[in-house]
Structure 1
Amino acid sequence: MSVPFVISRAATEHIAPAERIHYWEDYNHQALVGLSCTSYSEQGLLARQTNIELGGLRLADIAGNAHAVERSPKTVRSAPKDSVFATLLLKGEAVFLHENGCLAATAGELLVYDTRRPYLFGFSSSMRQILVDVPHDLFEQAGVGGGLPGPMLFGRGTAREGALVAALSSLLGGVAALSGGPLGPADAEEAVLALLRRLAEERTGGRPGPDVYRSQLMVAEDYIERRLHDPCLGAVQVAGVMGISVRHLGRIFESTGTSPARHIVERRLVRAHQELVEPDARETRIADVAHRWGFSSQAHFARLFRSRFGLTPSEARAEAKKCAQSRTASGHPDEP
């Protein structure tokens, strides 16, 4: 079985500190994408990169110290790149600034974005990422979604989404290790695209609808998911950020069988329930949980919670504690 093919490698360790930024920018312009780089470390930029061919895809295994890379509007024009990047962060924390806002990513999360749009990607400490370079035509042929309307962060939304990101991480890790693994390059390429497609479907629930609505739904749900803590979050705010009317936003959500307002309440309740039943949160006040997830009062939160889950918040917490104790007892029968 054939193994992935290494296109090139680069490292700044043996480059004079004053020349490292220039070297890194020049290498990436040739091997990956045009960008500018900034490092605030006294050591200068310490980074390494391996670029791997995987069928029609390219993988870049990148590690380094704290730094930032930017594709400014000027760079986008002077060094065009017609690809979608899917960046899996394996180590560190990152901030992704784009024309409509900011995304914060941590290790284990996947960020998908369009290289034709300006961005700044900053890493606050030592980092490692595996970046998948997917040409736009291949991205569209794979049916990942009706285009990419904006940067998307995956890994926090649902347990299923987390499992898909974990599967992608395992697959990409095997490719980056150049072990070949159980899949050849062609099969690995197909598997990567299939996982990206399933992640897009998970974000929209696999719901049908016009491509433009599907893309807009992904943007709306992603924006909502990242702002559930905001008590002012509502259809007006979401529609305003997207530059559409509230009525049009309602049409986008029709395929989900719910409205934007009900979707927001549902996601808040689910996230609040997840927090309440976690062992580490047993001492957290229910009023604090309600406030943290954007509910105006504990009483209002309790009514909605009971209607959704059939238990009060206190009962849900007690039930989770009882189940945990039962599992512990059954796993350690000799303990008193």
Structure 2
Amino acid sequence: MPAADLMISTASTEDVAPRERIGFWEEYNRRALVGLSCTSYSERGLVARQANYRLGDVRLADISGNAHAIERTPQVARSAPKDSVFLSLLVKGEAVFLHEHGCLAATAGDLVVYDTRRPYLFGFSSAMRQFLVDVPRELFVRACMAGGVPAPMLFGRATAREGELVVALRSLLEAPRPDDPALTGGAVLGVLRMLADGRSGGRPAPAAHRSLLIIAGDYIERHLHDASLAPGEVARVMGVSVRHLGRIFEAAGTTPSRHILERRLQRAHEDLTGTGGAARTTIADVAHRWGFSSQAHFARRFRARFGITPSEARAGR
């Protein structure tokens, strides 16, 4: 829990009459965080708490509550403008994040990054807690990701290092330095910059391509199981041509097709050599799980990449 002397404001609906809680919560968020509308699905009504802290140039909100949904509609975005990027780290519960390009499913430990200028709906199906970092968009573009966030992104699952960075981010937010909160805020931006670099392979890329490369990688990561995933689909979702998508990946030293294949092979290798439940499934199941059209095709690609067959990888585990 952040130190009390860093706190800007706090609020709770528990002492508010149940029928007045939604209005109270919406008004508090409008003043303290962002304009939104709220819906409660509990017979008890909305039971929620929020504390807001200042960490140098960024702000932190520690939010907990029962099942509910918050929505920033196009109308609200116009009437209550906000020019920030939000980093929502889910500490407890499960959630869905709906936006104009699709839907993200988040569980405890996941980080969702999104632009407050664009409409969204965040729904929590059970008791929840999240750390929400409010970063002015200009600062985010300068310090973290040139070009901003064209579409919401989910961090925490792509690689072991990404998971470790999200855990490090949570540690920073749980115990910011009371003697130098700006230092904590700077460290938060640094972690996010490393997350962005990890998605782009850590290779230098033109500033105009960097954000698109990260977004494309995020979409690919979440659809690796789909055998029909191809560069054309990725380009369509991102609103660019296949040729332009190729230029974006060229800046990172690869192609969209090679990147998709490499990520599938890496995930399959993790299943075959790991110690979890996936290690007990058949090789055919692993091939199907990561989008390969046949076990024979998977075996050929796997051996070309790792120098051993899938069976030998499993046996050497």
Q: Please give the TM-score of this superposition, normalised by the length of structure 2.
A: 0.96
Residue 282 of structure 1 aligns to a residue in which SS? helix
Is contact 1:53-1:59 (8 Å) kept? yes
Q: Residue 144 in 1 paired to residue 140 in 2?
A: no
Distance (whole Å) between structure 2 residues aligned to residue 215 and residue 292 of structure 1: 28
Distance (whole Å) between structure 2 residues aligned to residue 135 and residue 44 of structure 1: 32
Equivalences for residues 251-266 of structure 1 within 5 A: 251-266=247-262
The alpha-carbon distance between structure 1 residues 256 and 141, as it changes in their structure 2 partners (threshold 3 A), is: closer
Q: Which amino acid aligns with 1:88?
A: L
Residue 48 of structure 1 aligns to a residue in which SS? strand
Runs of 4+ residues deviating >4 angstroms: none
Distance (whole Å) between structure 2 residues aligned to residue 291 and residue 146 of structure 1: 36
Q: 1:277 aligns with which of 228, 249, 273?
A: 273
Residue 122 of structure 1 aligns to a residue in which SS? strand
Equivalences for residues 63-74 of structure 1 within 5 A: 63-74=64-75
The alpha-carbon distance between structure 1 residues 4 and 295, as it changes in their structure 2 partners (threshold 3 A), is: farther
Q: Residue 198 in 1 paired to residue 194 in 2?
A: yes
Q: Residue 290 in 1 paired to residue 287 in 2?
A: yes
| Residue 195 (structure 1) shift | 0.8
> Residue 119 of structure 2 corresponds to which residue in structure 1?
118
Q: Residue 307 in 1 paired to residue 304 in 2?
A: yes
Q: Which amino acid aligns with 1:317?
A: R
Q: Which amino acid aligns with 1:151?
A: P
| Residue 143 (structure 1) shift | 3.9
| Residue 209 (structure 1) shift | 2.3
Root mean square deviation, CA, Å: 1.3
Larger Rg: 1
Distance (whole Å) between structure 2 residues aligned to residue 198 and residue 282 of structure 1: 30
Q: Deviation digits for residues 247-298 of structure 1, max 9, x if unmatched?
A: 1111110022211111101101111111122222232111111111100000
Is contact 2:144-2:192 (8 Å) kept? no
Distance (whole Å) between structure 1 residues aligned to residue 84 and residue 201 of structure 2: 25
Equivalences for residues 152-171 of structure 1 within 5 A: 152-171=153-172
> Residue 210 of structure 2 corresponds to which residue in structure 1?
214
Q: Which amino acid aligns with 1:233?
A: L
| Residue 160 (structure 1) shift | 1.3
Q: Deviation digits for residues 289-331 of structure 1, max 9, x if unmatched?
A: 11111000001001111111112111111111xxxxxxxxxxx
User: Which consecutive unaligned segments of at least 5 residues does structure 1 have?
Assistant: 321-336
Is contact 2:85-2:116 (8 Å) kept? yes
User: Which consecutive unaligned segments of at least 5 residues does structure 2 have?
Assistant: none
The alpha-carbon distance between structure 1 residues 48 and 145, as it changes in their structure 2 partners (threshold 3 A), is: same
Q: Deviation digits for residues 47-77 of structure 1, max 9, x if unmatched?
A: 1000011111110000001111000000000
Is contact 1:4-1:185 (8 Å) kept? no
| Residue 3 (structure 1) shift | 7.2
Is contact 2:287-2:294 (8 Å) kept? yes
The alpha-carbon distance between structure 1 residues 318 and 61, as it changes in their structure 2 partners (threshold 3 A), is: same
Residues matched between the structures, number: 314
Distance (whole Å) between structure 1 residues aligned to residue 40 and residue 185 of structure 2: 33
Residue 199 of structure 2 aligns to a residue in which SS? helix
Distance (whole Å) between structure 2 residues aligned to residue 186 and residue 263 of structure 1: 38
Q: Percent identity?
A: 67
Distance (whole Å) between structure 2 residues aligned to residue 306 and residue 318 of structure 1: 14
> Residue 8 of structure 2 corresponds to which residue in structure 1?
7
> Residue 227 of structure 1 corresponds to which residue in structure 2?
223
Residue 316 of structure 1 aligns to a residue in which SS? helix
Greater Cα offset, 296-305 or 254-263: 254-263
> Residue 92 of structure 1 corresponds to which residue in structure 2?
93
Is contact 1:82-1:136 (8 Å) kept? yes
Distance (whole Å) between structure 2 residues aligned to residue 67 and residue 305 of structure 1: 45
Q: Residue 244 in 1 paired to residue 240 in 2?
A: yes
